Structure 1
């Protein structure tokens, strides 16, 4: 099992700008690009899905993976329309 690999993901905002994020196997977000530092992220986990949304608290998130879970896929959606819309990155977990 290769647990030392990083996961490369992208957050997409309403204007279509992409923010590249590398996530280490321990759940640490390794980089949030300087040019896009205004996009802060927060994390919620529910029913084997990990959801990253933009927030205003500025906390660098950690992804808490339980030992029996692995990330199988992710997709980007939006939580609203217009200027209130925020990018949401949804991970789907696999039971191991």
Structure 2
């Protein structure tokens, strides 16, 4: 899944990393949807391009349910700003057993 929004710039990334935040509460968002992902998938890989002034950055990380750090493989690099489209891509990996019944099984997804 991907979008062409502003990307996970520092303020949005900090909100993503906070379990209970009111960052988007004025627009009806509660930032709990990402937690529901982990009920259905083992891990989620995110890649996000965002701008800071004239500079562009690529942030990538893995989000998974585990007892210690839920965000791993975090990487932040400055990239060539010219032609860099902002946005975020999300890849859902490893369908959990709890996610199978609504879909009828992995062969039907």
TM over 0.5: no
TM-score, length-normalised on structure 1?
0.31
TM-score, length-normalised on structure 2?
0.29
More strand by share: 1
The structure number with the bigger radius of gyration is 2
More helix by share: 2
Query: RCO (CA 8 Å, sep 6+): is it higher in 1 or 2?
Result: 2
